[in-house]
Structure 1
């Protein structure tokens, strides 16, 4: 697969980079494929991204004006093994937010109603930056006892303020849900993916959703 990706045409690579960026707006979910956690998406979400104004503004990308052209481009991306057609099954764990079990389909085709698992990870600079930040935070925590008193008090009050805001937000979210259960059954969850196994940004998308019965 790595060889296929390396030999892919430049315009196909540019499409992949766009689709993996946040500007694409693709709803990415986390699934389990062959015992590994992978990102996956639905075909219609990728088609919508390729027909979006954000895509049209980028240079070096194939021109796409219809759903048929979008499917053709996505087929070229799949041929270069950047993603694989999968079947989505039941959650791996007991929780509703647990990753769904993914299995490769015999027919590797591209369609709007299909699910596709990313094989291409994209740029890893954010991962490295996050790891470096985590190391710095651990070192800072270990040296906390020798911090100046003013800084220690500042961190204390800041942490208490953040915890208070989080508790207030969760309380409002729960009260809103319980209220809507009575008024408009089955109820509405604000930020339904808040505790789902997704990325930070995806945790706040969508803003609301009907609760599942």
Structure 2
């Protein structure tokens, strides 16, 4: 066999991953993104598909038929062979206890670490060391990324409507994020002040080890310590004083924004941004001032504005000018 060719065990491992013969899920191991699977799923698949075991261990099918061994033992031998080929390694979940608001651990953890003991155990997790081949969507995503870079570069030259759309999209996203954060803090402060409970709205919203389809579940959950017990509540008087002090500090900071320095710079930047939108479109400020301008190059010869403050000498000079 030449150096460039792959043996049967390596090809079997690639098929197990790339053809989804064994259920695999994305996870984070250290600073790398990997795909993990359960040892029990691998053994179950191999026991049901003796031809796959025959690919890695020729002659195993005949031994099973003659009763020299059973399918379970051969499946474990194949798994050990794949580990010896360095196709995957044994790993364990990083967090051993359920997330806040859950009673059971997830089927597949989001974060794992490599175990020191690399013996194959059917009830453990394993991380693939091989990668799936790139799909056509990877090329599409790369082209889209290049277009986004060009779009950001040419953004100053974009039409006004494009700039306006980007502005409102960004502003809407920012307001949505800040609004959600504000509502969560308000709910937390209200429940903590009056009930003494540490309850969060959407506790998994900013969790990095929770799948996207589980971010909004559960809706409410109370914080617990490492022993699974609730935190003790401070006295009501202390809670009210703490919340009142926080709101008073925020109100005082808002009312006493400095006219110079960083606060003034923020105001100036905001005013310049809105002035740009007003001067290049049909928008108007909340002051009610009109944005209409006289057409350039048009002169009304039938109307002459005369200042009421002109004295008689100035009017005589105007009459002399008309006679000329």
- Aligned mates of 2:130, 2:185 — CA distance in 1: 38
Q: Which residue of 2 aligns with 1:161?
A: 172
Structure 1 residue runs without a partner (length 5+): 21-25, 52-61, 64-68, 91-98
- Aligned mates of 1:86, 1:40 — CA distance in 2: 11
Equivalent of 1:19 in 23, 31, 53: 23
- Aligned mates of 2:196, 2:207 — CA distance in 1: 23
Q: How does 1:1-213 map to 2 (within 5 A)?
A: 3=6, 6-8=10-12, 12-13=16-17, 16=20, 19-20=23-24, 26=25, 28-32=26-30, 36-39=31-34, 41=36, 43=38, 47=41, 79-81=81-83, 82-87=87-92, 102-112=113-123, 114-125=124-135, 126-178=137-189, 185-188=197-200, 190=202, 192=204, 194-196=206-208, 202-206=211-215, 207-208=217-218, 211-213=223-225
Which of the pair has the greater relative contact order for Cα pairs under 8 Å at 6+ separation? Answer: 1
> What TM-score, normalized by structure 1, do the two folds share?
0.56
On the 8 A contact 1:193/1:203 being kept in 2, the answer is no
On the 8 A contact 1:194/1:203 being kept in 2, the answer is no
Compared CA separation, residues 211 and 130, structure 1 to 2 (3 A) = farther
- Aligned mates of 1:192, 1:143 — CA distance in 2: 38
> What TM-score, normalized by structure 2, do the two folds share?
0.40
Deviation of residue 84 (structure 1)?
A: 1.6
- The CA RMSD over aligned residues, in Å, is 4.7
- Aligned mates of 1:31, 1:122 — CA distance in 2: 17
SS of equivalent to 2:206: coil
Higher strand share: 1
- Aligned mates of 2:76, 2:190 — CA distance in 1: 43
On the 8 A contact 1:29/1:41 being kept in 2, the answer is yes
- Aligned mates of 1:178, 1:111 — CA distance in 2: 47
Deviation of residue 110 (structure 1)?
A: 3.7
SS of equivalent to 1:109: coil
Structure whose alpha-carbon radius of gyration is higher: 2
Compared CA separation, residues 130 and 115, structure 1 to 2 (3 A) = same
Compared CA separation, residues 141 and 101, structure 1 to 2 (3 A) = same
Paired residue total: 175
Structure 2 residue runs without a partner (length 5+): 50-70, 96-109, 226-324
